[in-house]
Structures are given as C-alpha cells and as structure tokens.
C-alpha cells in the first residue's frame, strides 16, 4: 500500500482506535494480561454495530432475493474437508524473519524488494560495546533511515551504553533484496507457513483427533450443497450464504481489526451453470461473476461507503488462486491505504469436484432441462465483518466545526447505528422529568434500541451520542410536563423539532424505515 494513498484517507487509524476504546466500541483482546496479538473484543456499542452489519448483509443476500438460502455450519469440520479443499497442503503464506535485533516475522509478499546499503555500527570505544563494535549491520536505503532504525531497535537491543555511536557505510555493500521495515535487518528466504489453527478433539491427544478451526466459512456451504439443494428443492442457479467465525494464524496480524487471527466472515457460494452448457442469452458463470461484483459494490455504497473510496481490482492470471478462474477484489480506501475489503471469485467447479473425489459422494446436479448431470460452477462474494466495520467506521467518521467547538460525529447509516435513539432529562433532579424520560425510553425500546442517559450535562450527552452515531436524541424539559411534548434532535443536521411524547416512537421508527429504502 502506497504512502500517497494512505495520506488521502481523511482519518488516521489511531483516531479510530482511540474512539473505539473511549466509546465502548472495540477493546484490545485480553487487555489486562497485556493482550493477545491479533484478537479484539467488541464492547457494548461495537457489538450493536457488528450485529447491524451482519443483519444488513443477511437482509440483502437472503431476504431481498429469492435465489439464496441461509446456513450455519459447524466451525469444526471433518479434517478431510481441508485436505480436499487444498488448505492442508497449500493454505500458506511465505514467511521471512528479520536477522536484525527485532527478530520480527513478516509475510514476504508484503515486503517489496528494495535497494539497500549496509551501515556498520561504530562505537566511540570498543569497550563501550564489544558486541556492536564494527560488527552489527543495518541495511537501509539511506543513512538517515539507518539512524531511525538504530534509534528504534538497535540501540535498545544491543544495550549500547556509549552514546557516541556512529553509523558508517560499508563500502560496496549496496544490493537489492528484502529488508525489515522495522530494524533494517536482512530477511531470511521466504518459507511456507500454514495458516490453519489446530486443536484436539476428545480426551486422547493423538494425531487422529487433530482438527482445524476453519480458516473460511465457504467449505461449510460446499459440503452441504446437496443437502440444501434437495431439501429446499432448488434449481440452479441458487446460492447458500452463511456468516460466522473463521481463524487464521496470520503471520503479522496488524492494523487493528483489519487483519486478526480470529475474525468473522460473511460468505455466499452461488452455484450456477458453467458457461459451455448455457444456451444463447442464458446467464453464464462470468455473467454471474459480473452481477455479484455490481451487487456487492451497491451494498457497500447503500450502507454508507463513499463511491470514490471503492474500486475493483481484477486479479491478473498470475495473481489468481489455483481454483479461481477470475477474481475481483473490492478495495476500499482504509486509513492504512487502499486494501481488499471483499473478494468476489469465480471458483469454477473446483471445490465440489474435490469433495466428490475425497468423500466418494456424488455432488453433481441433475439438470432437468438438459437431462444431464454436471458439477456446478461457483461464484463467491466473501466479506469480513470486522473489515466491513472498520470501513463503515472510517467513512462515517466526521469532524465538524460547530461555532467554537470541534464536533466528532459518526455519520453511520441509520440501519448500522448501534443506538437508534437516546433520551435525556434536562434536569435530573426533577423526578417528574426523569420519570417522563424513562417512560418514553421504555416505550421506544419496544420498537428499536433506545437508551436513557442522565450522567452528564445535555451538551456532553449530545457529544457522546454523536461520537457513536446515534441518529436521534430526545430531551425532556420543564415545558414537557406542561405540553406533553419533547425535543428531538437529528444527528447530522442537528435540527431540532418539537413533538408530542406519544408520537416519538412512530416518528423515529418511520425515519429509520425511510433510511432503509
């Protein structure tokens, strides 16, 4: 990802991370034990966002169409599944280690080859640090960069006590290769590292009991193809969709919830007729591939991602996975730069064919129109829930100047907003006002998620709700006791209207319904 692209995102990752922590959206996993790399916990506000993202996806993939069925398959599957799918033998990333003091591990395909020169660490006196003296080498594109690496890692690691350290270029050392972006160390030759996590089933820890935590939800759909097709009396084309946890022992989990070791996916396998069997004018696998890219792009835009922050990268032949005939990565301009948000792949009939071979079961489809059996082709849109949450948070994040103050507001689509309406009493020491506000909140909760809050002054309460994207805030004031009316303030326009307290539920519900379209 280029730095130029990263600059163009209107918000940096630290700002999002700190908002998430401050406002109960996302916390680092196992934080009191100094965390566990690649894990995050969703807080009370974050889990609502996540559920809403899942629901919005499920609605558009299942309820708003008539050609997709839902499924929830087990996370643990017979290990032969993963042999058949190719994950046991080929689901690996190239791993390299830095020979520098950080000893950090990298995905070699994430590190570009660059030209670097070796800089030798020279102490003023050999006695100050005999280890480093004249031996330690930092590979960097420039002396300035080498100095940065030195400050960040080498000084600390080598424990050099003499402050009068110099870096000296090693003559004739310039060469092209892969070097650590953290300490300038040379990277080892890449070696394959399988990303599947294993666990043991049953009381005996022998190899027969070893199972994998699924690295994708897709295989659950493939192994259930015949079950769903027969039980739901489906004809091609049709899809099977599911949402659930996946696990990958990522070499370098990083960038907050963008790449974690435990994450959630929303995937759909759309079974269709291979192109060569299609009659003229009939949609073939590549037509469905194009359809799903358009359909998924439209979903992201519908729920708030900006068109100009989305693009499709069509993989070239040498980038395609071995099972894939075509793949379009829907990329988003994340705070870390342009990166894959969702992948849409034409997986051909690879998976079903493999499962037929490994299970010995016939997974062919009988086509009554052609009076023939064949193995369907599959188009797969695969999206990460966590990555989607990060994308929605990014494009919703807005800073505005309101008079003298800076207002931070998450302009989330109303369907995704964690809390739909917050109710405040203007004066919390007036029991009649508090009671009226609490009653109203109780009433609202029957239709959508509403909260009552009186833990700060009104201005602060508004700001809190803005920061988590609550579309409506209602204030009960002294006058409300007289006229039975309250003030409703809309998040984005900050416009306020006065409405009868008995009309609030209907009003907000209607506004939420309109936003869904």
Q: How many other CB atoms are there within 10 angstroms of residue 486's CB atom? A: 24
| 509-512 contacts at long range (C-beta below 8 A, 24 or more positions apart) | 509/447, 509/448, 511/414, 511/471, 511/472, 512/414, 512/415, 512/420, 512/448, 512/471
Of 195 and 236, CB closest to ligand ATP: 195
- What mask of x and - would describe binding to ligand ATP in positions 200 to 219, judged by CB under 6 A? ----------------x---
Q: By CB under 6 A, name the one of 104, 214, 387, 489 that touches ligand ATP.
A: 387
Of 87 and 420, CB closest to ligand ATP: 87
- Cβ 400 to ligand ATP, closest distance in Å? 30
Using CA atoms in the order 131, 135, 136, 140, what is the torsion angle rounded to 10 degrees? 170
Q: Are 147 and 124 in contact (CB under 8 A)?
A: no
Q: By CB under 6 A, name the one of 259, 309, 489, 505 that touches ligand ATP.
A: 259
- Measured in whole angstroms, how far is the alpha carbon of residue 369 from the centre of its chain? 41
**Applying CB under 6 A, does 260 fall inside the site for ligand ATP?**
yes
Of 384 and 469, CB closest to ligand ATP: 384
| Of 507, 517, 505, 508, residue with least CA distance to 444 | 505
Which element (helix H / strand E) includes 149? helix 143-149
**Applying CB under 6 A, does 337 fall inside the site for ligand ATP?**
no
Q: Nearest-CB residue to ligand ATP?
A: 384
**Applying CB under 6 A, does 250 fall inside the site for ligand ATP?**
yes
Of 183 and 250, CB closest to ligand ATP: 250
**Applying CB under 6 A, does 265 fall inside the site for ligand ATP?**
yes
Q: Are 419 and 25 in contact (CB under 8 A)?
A: no
Which residue carries 């660490």 as its tokens? 121
Q: How many other CB atoms are there within 10 angstroms of residue 149's CB atom? A: 25
3-state secondary structure 215-280: CCCHHHHHHCHHHHHHHCCCCCCEEEEEEEEEECCCCCCECHHHECCEEEEEEEEEEECCHHHCCC
**Applying CB under 6 A, does 300 fall inside the site for ligand ATP?**
no
CA end-to-end span of the chain, whole Å? 35
Of 120 and 259, CB closest to ligand ATP: 259
Of 45 and 266, CB closest to ligand ATP: 266
Helix residue spans in 343-399 (DSSP H): 350-359, 385-396
Strands (E), 404-500: 405-410, 421-425, 450-452, 472-476, 485-490, 496-500
- Cβ 340 to ligand ATP, closest distance in Å? 5
Q: By CB under 6 A, name the one of 383, 410, 441, 461 that touches ligand ATP.
A: 383
The residue range among 24-32, 260-268, 454-462, 504-512 that interacts with ligand ATP, by the rule CB under 6 A, is 260-268
The residue range among 1-9, 337-345, 352-360, 498-506 that interacts with ligand ATP, by the rule CB under 6 A, is 337-345
Q: By CB under 6 A, name the one of 57, 133, 222, 263 that touches ligand ATP.
A: 263
Q: Are 449 and 437 in contact (CB under 8 A)?
A: no
Number of residues that bind ligand ATP (CB under 6 A): 16
The residue range among 257-265, 361-369, 446-454, 456-464 that interacts with ligand ATP, by the rule CB under 6 A, is 257-265
Rounded alpha-carbon distances, angstroms, from residue 307 to 1, 53, 222, 437: 19, 18, 33, 40
Of 383 and 474, CB closest to ligand ATP: 383
Of 154 and 258, CB closest to ligand ATP: 258
Of 250 and 477, CB closest to ligand ATP: 250
Site for ligand ATP in 340-369 (CB under 6 A): 340-343
Contact positions vs ligand ATP (CB under 6 A): 216, 248, 250, 259-260, 263, 265, 340-343, 382-384, 386-387
């Amino acid at each position: 990802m280029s730095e130029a692209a990263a600059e163009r995102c209107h918000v940096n990752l630290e700002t999002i991370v700190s908002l998430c922590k401050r406002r109960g959206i996302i916390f680092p996993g196992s934080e009191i034990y100094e965390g566990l790399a690649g894990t995050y916990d969703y807080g009370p506000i974050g889990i609502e966002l996540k559920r809403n993202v899942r629901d919005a996806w499920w609605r558009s993939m299942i309820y708003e169409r008539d050609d997709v069925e839902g499924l929830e398959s087990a996370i643990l599957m017979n290990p032969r599944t993963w042999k058949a799918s190719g994950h046991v033998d080929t689901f690996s990333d190239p791993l390299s280690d830095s020979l520098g003091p950080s000893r950090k591990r990298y995905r070699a395909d994430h590190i570009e080859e660059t030209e670097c020169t070796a800089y030798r660490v020279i102490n003023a006196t050999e006695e100050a640090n005999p280890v480093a003296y004249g031996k330690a080498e930092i590979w960097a594109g420039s002396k300035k960069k080498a100095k940065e690496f030195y400050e960040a890692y080498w000084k600390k690691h080598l424990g050099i006590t003499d402050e009068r350290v110099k870096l000296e270029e090693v003559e004739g050392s310039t060469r092209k290769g892969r070097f650590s972006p953290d300490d300038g160390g040379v990277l080892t030759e890449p070696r394959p590292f399988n990303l599947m996590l294993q666990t043991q089933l049953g009381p005996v820890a022998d190899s027969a009991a070893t199972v994998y935590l699924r690295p994708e939800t897709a295989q659950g759909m493939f192994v259930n193809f015949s079950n769903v097709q027969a039980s739901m009396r489906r004809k091609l084309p049709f899809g099977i969709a599911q949402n659930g946890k996946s696990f990958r022992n990522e070499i370098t989990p990083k960038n907050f919830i963008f790449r974690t070791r435990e994450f959630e996916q929303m995937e759909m396998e759309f079974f269709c007729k291979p192109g060569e069997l299609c009659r003229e004018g009939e949609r073939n696998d590549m037509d469905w591939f194009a359809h799903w890219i358009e359909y998924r792009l439209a979903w992201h835009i519908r729920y708030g991602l900006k068109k100009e922050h989305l693009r499709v990268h069509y993989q070239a032949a040498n980038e395609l996975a071995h099972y894939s005939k075509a793949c379009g990565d829907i990329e988003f301009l994340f705070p870390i730069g342009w990166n894959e948000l969702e992948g849409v792949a034409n997986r051909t009939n690879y998976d079903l064919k493999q499962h037929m071979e490994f299970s010995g079961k016939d997974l062919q489809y009988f086509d009554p129109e052609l009076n023939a059996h064949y193995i369907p082709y599959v188009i797969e849109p695969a999206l990460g829930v966590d990555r989607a949450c990060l994308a929605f948070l990014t494009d919703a994040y807005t800073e505005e100047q309101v008079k003298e103050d800076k207002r931070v507001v998450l302009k989330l689509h109303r369907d995704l907003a964690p809390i739909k309406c917050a109710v405040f009493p203007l004066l919390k020491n007036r029991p009649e006002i508090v009671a009226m506000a609490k009653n109203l909140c109780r009433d609202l909760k029957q239709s959508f998620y509403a909260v009552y809050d009186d833990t700060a002054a009104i201005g602060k309460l508004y700001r809190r709700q803005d920061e988590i994207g609550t579309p409506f805030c209602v204030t009960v004031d002294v006058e409300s006791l007289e006229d039975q009316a309250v003030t409703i303030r809309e998040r984005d326009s900050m416009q306020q209207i006065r409405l009868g307290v008995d009309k609030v539920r209907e009003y907000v519900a209607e506004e939420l319904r309109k936003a869904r379209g």
